[in-house]
Amino acid sequence: MDLVTAVDPGFMLSGFLVGLLVGQTGVGGGSLMTPLLVLFFGVHPATAVGTDLLYASATKTVGTLVHGLNHTVDWRVVRRLASGSVPATLVTLAAISHFNIGGPGSGRIISLVLGVMLLLTALSLLLRRRFLALVEPAMERITPHQAARLTVATGAVLGVLVTISSVGAGAIGVTALLILYPRVPMAVIVGSDIAHAVPLTLVAGIGHWWLGSVDWPLLTSLLSGSIPGIIAGSYLAAHIPENVLRPILAVTLVLVGSRLVF
């Protein structure tokens, strides 16, 4: 069966709906797609994570092109993040390769990490403004050199978390960048975070492919729905207030994350 005839309408619809949400909020790709595959479709957590990483790499490449054309990417920040995330991803993949990631025990561990990451993502969406206001006085005293080192460290943490769960590069990454670069415009923060997610998810996705945890027909089905979904969501973004969508997304992540953890 070739990839075209293997396209599944259910997965295509899921890709479209998640893409629609990502296009409107910039968040929700890994946070929703991976748990959707695990809980609703019964896909093994390792396969869901590996497939979603390459799915994210493809979709965020398109987003990076758009932000690049709009000059809303700080490539210096992207390089700093990637210099931490890519090595951390490679080390994490090497560690994963020593375990049976297709077994039931590892599936439970991945589900647990995924659930915790979803809860942290929800908190970053709900409490971002309060948290930023709380840490702002301390962050104002950070020197540019310290900010650079902390950016590399942030990338390393994201590399580990995203490689294991496919979640964290979006909401958590944006929150970290807002703390480290409070004077940078929000559009540039989002664009830089999306651009960094491309090498991170690509390297992690290729690693999972090498480990045998990527389902290519599934990936094809998801992308065939998500690309038009992202385009439609981008057009709707101007008409639906972000302060309406983000709480809904956060509550959804809390429910799904709790289900995976407990």
pLDDT tens digit sequence for 94-139: 988 887 665 566 667 777 887 887 787 778 777 777 777 777 777 7
Beta carbons of 31 and 244 less than 8 angstroms apart? no
pLDDT score, position 1: 44
pLDDT score, position 2: 47
User: Which residue from 3, 30, 6 is spatially nearest to 226, judged by alpha carbons?
Assistant: 30
pLDDT score, position 19: 79
**No. of H helices and E strands in the chain?**
11, 0
Q: pLDDT over 90 for what percent of the chain?
A: 25
Average pLDDT in the 234-238 region?
63
Residue 80 predicted with pLDDT over 80 = yes
Q: Which residue has the higher pLDDT, 193 or 3?
A: 193
Beta carbons of 17 and 75 less than 8 angstroms apart? no
Q: What is the mean pLDDT of the chain?
A: 82
Integer CA distances (angstroms), 239 to 23, 72, 236, in order: 12, 22, 5
Which pTM value belongs to this model? 0.82
**Residue boundaries of the structural domains of the chain:** 9-261
Beta carbons of 225 and 3 less than 8 angstroms apart? no
Task: Specify whether the backbone of 8 is left (phi greater than 0), alpha (psi in -120 to 50) or beta.
Answer: beta
Integer CA distances (angstroms), 140 to 67, 143, 146, 178, in order: 27, 8, 11, 12
Q: What's CA 41's distance to the chain center, in Å?
A: 20
pLDDT score, position 189: 85
Q: Which DSSP string corresponds to 234-249?
A: HHHTTTS-HHHHHHHH
pLDDT score, position 5: 45
Average pLDDT in the 236-246 region?
65
Beta carbons of 227 and 88 less than 8 angstroms apart? no
